[in-house]
């Protein structure tokens, strides 16, 4: 998807290895209960007592999402991930930790965001998305001007956006697009603010693999 192209789609694999039998069974029984509505909806209707609503875009295996939800049971955490093996893993985490404050969208997050009302989220995480490092594939990167505009729409004033990557070029790419938006302010004041994991960060298995070309970088933004 280019920055000016209206087509929404996810690139990359939707499924790789066979899903384990127990996880496959949970996909059949629990995933239908966990899915967010397929039509426009008010997130807090899913958890009327939710103090806040958070969105994790591309939750991978779901360990960060589940851990954040476990820490903050008063928060509704919505996760979006098109990769079916990751969704199966997340459903297992939700089941094993008995989490009642997580809902899932097993598809392209842009379809989900389009169904959310304005100013409906307090927090968004984009952690270690596919970097698409080759220049000819940059149009496939998740962070594009149109997504930034949609995140500005659904985040409340004062809402927070965190982006993390271990690919230097993708960090620069994201900084350029977020700082070009008048809706977002980068909160960093010194190098430690982006070179050290934030206090509330939860390390993921992908992060530990160090597959990128730099140490992990964490960019926090506020919706102004």
What is the residue extent of each domain of the chain? Answer: 21-223
Judge whether 108 is annotated as a binding position.
yes
Reported pTM = 0.91
- CATH assignment, 21-223: 3.40.50.150
CB 62 within 8 A of CB 79: yes
**Would you state the structure tokens that stand for residue 86, as one six-digit string?**
């990751």
Judge whether 206 is annotated as a binding position.
yes
pLDDT in tens, 160-203: 999 999 999 999 999 999 999 999 999 999 988 999 999 999 99
Judge whether 146 is annotated as a binding position.
no
Q: Where are the beta strands (DSSP E) in the chain?
A: 52-57, 75-80, 102-105, 121-127, 155-165, 184-186, 217-223
CB 43 within 8 A of CB 120: yes
Please enumerate in sequence order all residues whose Cβ is within 8 A of that of 43, keeping only pairs 6 or more positions apart, or say none: 36, 50, 53, 76, 78, 116, 120, 121
pLDDT in tens, 41-88: 999 999 999 999 999 999 999 999 999 999 999 999 999 999 999 999
**Predicted local distance difference test score (pLDDT) of residue 16:** 57
pLDDT in tens, 23-39: 888 888 999 999 999 99
**Would you state the structure tokens that stand for residue 79, as one six-digit string?**
């996760």
- Give, in order, the Cα–Cα distances in Å from 15 to each of 82, 125, 131, 142: 9, 23, 18, 18
Instruction: Tell me how far apart the alpha carbons of residues 101 and 173 are, in angstroms, rounded to a whole number.
Output: 33
Place of tokens 């893993």: 89
From the candidates 130, 146, 169, 193, which is the catalytic residue?
130
Per-residue confidence band for 7, with pLDDT thresholds at 50, 70 and 90: very low
Judge whether 81 is annotated as a binding position.
yes
Residue 169: active-site member: no
Please enumerate in sequence order all residues whose Cβ is within 8 A of that of 98, keeping only pairs 6 or more positions apart, or say none: none
Judge whether 118 is annotated as a binding position.
no
């Amino acid at each position: 998807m280019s920055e000016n192209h209206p087509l929404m789609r996810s690139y990359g694999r939707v499924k790789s290895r066979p899903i384990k039998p127990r996880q496959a069974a949970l996909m059949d029984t629990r995933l239908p209960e966990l899915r967010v509505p397929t039509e426009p909806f008010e997130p807090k209707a899913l958890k009327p007592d939710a103090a806040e609503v958070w969105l994790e875009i591309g939750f991978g295996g779901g360990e960060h999402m589940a851990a954040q939800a476990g820490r903050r049971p008063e928060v509704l955490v919505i996760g979006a991930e098109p990769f079916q093996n990751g969704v199966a893993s997340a459903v297992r985490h939700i089941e094993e930790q008995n989490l009642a404050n997580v809902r899932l969208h097993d598809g392209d997050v842009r379809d989900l965001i389009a169904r959310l009302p304005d100013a409906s989220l307090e927090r968004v995480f984009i952690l270690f998305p596919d970097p698409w490092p080759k220049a000819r594939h940059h149009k496939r990167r998740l962070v594009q001007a149109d997504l930034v505009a949609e995140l500005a729409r659904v985040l409340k004033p004062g809402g927070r956006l965190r982006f993390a990557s271990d690919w230097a070029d993708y960090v620069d790419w994201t900084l350029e697009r977020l700082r070009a938006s008048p809706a977002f302010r980068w909160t960093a004041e010194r190098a430690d603010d982006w070179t050290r994991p934030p206090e509330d960060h939860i390390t993921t298995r992908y992060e530990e693999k160090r597959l990128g070309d730099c140490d992990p970088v964490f960019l926090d933004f506020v919706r102004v």
